[in-house]
Amino acid sequence: MIKTENIKSFVRQTLGCACPEEVFKRIDCQSNIKLNDNILLTSKINVGNKLLIYVVEIKDQDSMKHTLPFLLNIGKKERDSSGFNRFRLVLGTDKLDEIKEVADIVFKTIDKDERIHLHVISKKNIPIFSNESLC
């Protein structure tokens, strides 16, 4: 079972999203989604069919340099094709300063719109969303 309060808190407090209360009436969450041979989404969260969130664990900056453009492209395509208002990519890591610095540089070079957001956070700040896994 999805812990909707954990997701709501994560979206509002950790990600800083000011989504209105009504969007939280419908929350869908999937975990461990393999996008290709190298990329596994820890979680994919749909908040009220308005906000799409991908949560991915990043272990080192080298892999992130190639992974970030791919994830942003896939997320933007899903956002647009499914009618979401916003897409937020969350990179969870144990190497916060190192990954954030590189992610910010790579993010600035990618062609995107104002409805795409990047968050680099400590893995310990990603809550458990259900009893079984993240979702």
Q: Is 87 left (phi over 0), alpha (psi -120 to 50) or beta?
A: beta
Q: Would 46 be classed as within a structural domain?
A: yes
Instruction: Encode pLDDT of 6-54 as tens digits.
Output: 899 999 999 999 888 999 999 999 989 999 888 889 999 999 999 999 9
- Domain with 115, as residue range(s), is 4-125
Element (H, E) at 12: none
Q: Would 135 be classed as within a structural domain?
A: no
Instruction: Encode pLDDT of 90-128 as tens digits.
Output: 999 999 999 999 999 999 999 899 999 999 999 998 886
List the CATH number of the domain containing 118: 3.40.1350
Q: Would 22 be classed as within a structural domain?
A: yes
Q: How many domains does the chain have?
A: 1
Q: Would 45 be classed as within a structural domain?
A: yes
Q: Which residues pair with 87 in a beta bridge?
A: 52, 116
DSSP string, 58-123: ---HHHHHHHHHHHHHHHHHHHHHHT-SEEEEEEEES-HHHHHHHHHHHHHHS---TTEEEEEEEG
Q: Are 39 and 70 in contact (CB under 8 A)?
A: yes
